[in-house]
Amino acid sequence: MASATPAAPDPTPDTVTDTVLVVDFGAQYAQLIARRVREARVYSEIVPSTMPVAEMLARKPRAIILSGGPSSVYANGAPTLDRAIFEAGVPVFGMCYGFQLMATTLGGTVDNTGAREYGRTALAVSKPGSTLFEGTPAEQSVWMSHGDACSAAPEGFTVTASTDVVPVAAFENDAQRLYGVQYHPEVLHSTYGQQILEHFLYRGAGITPSWTTTNVVDEQLALIRAKVGSSRAICGLSGGVDSAVAAALVQKAIGSQLTCVYVDHGLMRKGETEQVEKDFVAATGVQLKVVDAAERFLSALAGVSDPEQKRKIIGREFIRVFEQAQAEIVAEAPDDQPVEFLVQGTLYPDVVESGGGTGTANIKSHHNVGGLPEDLQFQLVEPLRQLFKDEVRMVGQELGLPEEIVQRQPFPGPGLGIRIVGDVTRERLDLLREADAIAREELTAAGLDRDIWQCPVVLLADVRSVGVQGDGRTYGHPIVLRPVSSEDAMTADWSRLPYDVLAKISTRITNEVKDVNRVVLDVTSKPPGTIEWE
């Protein structure tokens, strides 16, 4: 992204007190807005538009951002907002739908003319020295997505930008510290979008950037110690970066009061268990208890092909295994240190996609959010619950974890169980394990591990296709390669891998993996598809 403004002031080491609330009106990019605010070193949280304004203001935010959304401000049942939010003295920044809602609520005019703008659009800045546009060009490319258009700004507002279609594409009211733009500054396609957002935060709202990974670590260490006290905790360690960082953070807070439990549920990748035992224990010195529960999980999953049911079964069985491990750990623990807490590597995208916290739809139940049983016998400790994946990696680096753990590609808690489309059996798992290992080996050999976010390898177990192998007809399964690029897993695009690498992966899988005679490439972005197939 081009830069036209000076760097933000150096962050202070003080505890974070400045919070920006992102009000979600059902926006595709609400989570991205929150992430961009954090990139500006200001802490942000998402709240649903249905939250009463009095409740928002009771949280004493330093600023409020109104997201975009799919509705027209004139549609029946469209989200609304109490005018009090604009009269409370808190700086507010409206984007897209939030911009139009601000305009109509305060007496401006938004026309439902049918004049639409979608995608890259040329923006003409009429007030280049304004609070938002200071230091940016008079002509810049922005990302539009709207059908209605603002034709008149509310009284007291200065129009600062327009397009060929929209006469009021941005406005500002410095006296009341209210600002708005018709476009989406949070997406990379808006060339100076991050600068505009930072201008609102630093200049409009007067916030000093102070939120860093050091803040996160220090704050969480204090919270964990206060919550756990002299009790003991167990952590479900999957080997992925999320649970590893969560475990390392909790161990730093309470030391030997933590025991990590690694459940070998039979759904892991090839060599996974050995790698967890070797790498993580060597890096942290944590107490690790390995539980072989493969038969239990396979029995529970027998005959189940529905992906939501799989996730819930795996989540339930995880908890039951932890309860058994708890009983064994308790028997060895001092009487004054009961095991009362379960540590999980839950991330913000897990919460959002499971329908939690923002009033959004349930896209899929993550095993550690929507899949938890109602009769859970532990209190949860989730130190990463408000973080995105890249922030978790930075916390891991702050804690001194090795690169091979911190930079490891994401792997879902339910494991290969949700990468088999169809029933989960031992034979199908063995087949998928071999195909996955080949894909990972070749991507590493080609030096592409850092170029992609992750590469799920999927077995279409209920699909067979005709092939020719060894001069004979075969009737085998297809394997799907799903390499994706992403910043935070909320959105993703398929990775354009070199053809020679794809060819080598395909040749090796069809030659070396029994009952596979076809390899296909998934070229779907997110949205509309999710990263995992199930």
* Residues with catalytic roles: 96, 184, 186
User: Rounded CA gap, 317 and 320, in Å?
Assistant: 5
CA–CA dist 169, 163 (Å, integer): 7
Q: Which of 176, 175, 170 is nearest to 196 (CA)?
A: 170
Question: Measured between alpha carbons, how far is 331 from 325 in angstroms, rounded to an integer?
Answer: 10
Spatial CA neighbour of 171 closest among 78, 111, 106: 106
Neighbours of 378 (CB within 10 A): 18
CB of 23 closer than 8 Å to CB of 92 = no
**45 near 248, Cβ under 8 Å?**
no
**Residue pair 469/510 in contact by the 8 Å Cβ criterion:** yes
Contacts of 348 (CB under 8 A, 6+ apart): 31, 34, 385, 386, 387, 388
CB 423 within 8 A of CB 433: no
Helical residues (DSSP H) of 106-167, grouped into ranges = none
Helix/strand/coil for 119: strand
Report the C-alpha gap between 5 and 200 in whole angstroms.
13
Residue 442 burial class via C-beta count within 10 angstroms: exposed 0-12, middle 13-18, buried 19 and up: buried
At 506 the three-state DSSP class reads helix
Q: How far apart are CA 377 and CA 380, in angstroms?
A: 9
Structure tokens at 420: 């088999």
Q: In terms of Cα–Cα distance, which of 520, 432, 436, 514 is closest to 470? A: 514
| Strands in 174-303 per DSSP E | 178-181, 232-236, 258-264, 287-292
Rg of the Cα trace of the chain? 25
Q: What angle do CA 285, 287, 289 make, to 5 degrees?
A: 135
